[in-house]
Structure 1
Amino acid sequence: MNERLTSQVETCFIFSPFIQHVKYVNMLKFVFSVL
């Protein structure tokens, strides 16, 4: 995984668990759409 993206996700998790959760779900949707 991209280190920059991981850093952003971790920052969002610290700042707002809800926003982090939404971004994580969207990222999973993107990954599965690419597969």
Structure 2
Amino acid sequence: MKNQLKIHLYQIILFVLRMPPEIIIFLWIVVWSMVLRC
């Protein structure tokens, strides 16, 4: 179960690395605003 999560996380990281920097920055801002709201 834990190994499956690691594989999933690895796939997400690879997907993010393929995206353009603008999208990464945008997602980072969205995630941070959600974290700060909690």
TM range (shorter): 0.5 to 0.7
Greater relative contact order (CA < 8 Å, ≥ 6 in sequence): 1
Change (3 A) 1:23 1:15: same
**RMSD (Å), alpha carbons:** 2.3
TM-score normalised per structure 2? 0.54
- The reply to whether residue 8 of structure 1 matches residue 6 of structure 2 is no
Higher alpha-carbon Rg: 2
The aligned counterpart of 1:21 is: 25
Structure 1 unaligned regions, length at least 5: none
TM-score normalised per structure 1? 0.57
Structure 2 unaligned regions, length at least 5: 1-5
